[in-house]
Structure 1
Amino acid sequence: MAHTYKLSYFDLMGLGEAIRFLLSYGGAKFEDFRFARDQWPALKNSMPYGKVPVLEIDGKATHQSIAICRYLAKQFKLMGGSDWEDLQCDMIVDTVTDFRMQAARFFQETDEKKKEEIMKSLIAETVPYYMSRFDAQVKKNGGHFVNGKLTWADIYVVAVFQFLQKFLKVDFVNDYTNMKALQDKVLNLPAIKSWVEKRPKTDM
């Protein structure tokens, strides 16, 4: 019997998009429950630990986006082929979180002058630092992050980059040949391509 899924998240890609990508890849039907920021105070107390995304699986609420993605990867056969390969997936996903948190400084800063300084640093230092390393790893691993095959790490990274590039208003993948090829590969997976074509249009 197929599971039922309901994803609750803000009306944006953000941390919910990797979950949507994985559910789409797995051919799972899911309710994509979105809400505006001004609706959040009324919903917060109904969420585990007061945070989203939350994925209800057969009516049971689960939280923490990476934990959810790892669970879905197991369901849809997107894990590595060994404990060592699973470790490689986890390392990449956690490193992308480090990268994302650097970008989050821009979003959190309210002083316009400081925001400008943060953006300059991101583009000149942070993006090249991480992207050059991601690109080298994908090249080394035959077009994927782990052992030349599609894993949830590939899908997770591409999904996160979808909203980060919109958020920063910079296409930082295009300058890195191997990362660009991986992004194109993931976005052209039929189920994910179908999701991207029909998903709501948001700023990030």
Structure 2
Amino acid sequence: MAPAYKLTYFDGRGLGETSRFLMKYGGIDFEDCRIKREDWPQMKPKFPFGQLPTLEHNGKIVNQSQAISRYLAKQVKLAGNDDWENLEIDAIVDTINDLRLKVSAYFYEKDEAKKQTILENVNKEVLPFYLKRFEEIVKKNKGHFALGRLTWADFYWATVSTGLDMVTKVDTIANYPELKAVRDKVNSLPAIKKWIEQRPKTDF
């Protein structure tokens, strides 16, 4: 019998990994469909808004990585218990995503001089601004990003934060023990640890 869910993304971790983590954590069986970059241009028109990842379930397909993760978090009990708790989680996830977007601009810039300008700004301004505040938030939340307990915000950080190192070429959170502990905590969960050991080895 085919899995009830199908997650389609590029052959990498990227924006699809949070959803993979959530499904592995919750024991949700899913088809992990991976598209090669070279095949994407001809396949792109077939997908909603030409975007990945997508999640398919019961003949329906949706895009938008954070919306997918938010849905899956509810399925595996890693969301809030009421609207306000969900707002707190969403607010921190969106802020982590703000950081991700500022840093990922480096990858999309083609001009080498401009790339270096972005990198300098990331190291001197962007990372210190966000990471200091995130560190304080986690400390106040008993080692978590929201609600003082494990939520999908922690999963989002665990998967997104590794991308920071790809730009800086160093351990970006080496001097932020609270942030490192969150990532380690998520990665050491039995189902996640097993997935990390077994998942395809990719560059991103």
Normalised TM-score (structure 2): 0.94
Task: Indicate the residue corresponding to 2:152 in structure 1.
Answer: 152
Alignment of 1:12-91 (within 5 A): 12-91=12-91
Q: What is the Cα deviation at residue 121 of structure 1?
A: 1.2
Task: Indicate the residue corresponding to 1:187 in structure 2.
Answer: 187
Aligned counterparts of 2:181 and 2:3: Cα–Cα separation in 1: 33
Deviations 1:163-201 (A, max 9, x none): 332354332122101111111101101111111111111
2:78 touches 2:152 (CA, 8 Å); kept in 1?
Answer: yes
Task: Specify the code of the residue in structure 1 equivalent to 2:73.
Answer: A
Specify every segment of 5 or more residues in structure 2 that has no aligned partner in the other structure, as ranges.
none
Tell me, what secondary structure is at the counterpart of 2:144? coil
Specify every segment of 5 or more residues in structure 1 that has no aligned partner in the other structure, as ranges.
none
Pairwise CA RMSD: 1.7
Task: Specify the code of the residue in structure 2 equivalent to 1:96.
Answer: I
Task: Specify the code of the residue in structure 2 equivalent to 1:110.
Answer: K
Aligned counterparts of 1:13 and 1:165: Cα–Cα separation in 2: 14
Question: Identical aligned pairs, as a percentage?
Answer: 52
Task: Indicate the residue corresponding to 1:92 in structure 2.
Answer: 92
Q: 1:196 to 1:167 in 2, by over 3 A?
A: farther
Normalised TM-score (structure 1): 0.94
Deviations 1:42-92 (A, max 9, x none): 111111111110111233212111111110011111112332221110001
Aligned counterparts of 2:96 and 2:75: Cα–Cα separation in 1: 22
Query: What count of residue pairs does the alignment treat as equivalent?
Result: 204
Q: 1:76 to 1:3 in 2, by over 3 A?
A: farther
Task: Indicate the residue corresponding to 1:112 in structure 2.
Answer: 112
Aligned counterparts of 1:142 and 1:3: Cα–Cα separation in 2: 36
Tell me, what secondary structure is at the counterpart of 1:7? strand
Task: Specify the code of the residue in structure 1 equivalent to 2:45.
Answer: N
Q: 1:92 to 1:44 in 2, by over 3 A?
A: same
1:3 touches 1:57 (CA, 8 Å); kept in 2?
Answer: no
Runs of 4+ in 1 over 4 A off after TM superposition: none
Task: Indicate the residue corresponding to 2:10 in structure 1.
Answer: 10
Task: Specify the code of the residue in structure 2 equivalent to 1:60.
Answer: K
Q: 1:197 to 1:136 in 2, by over 3 A?
A: same
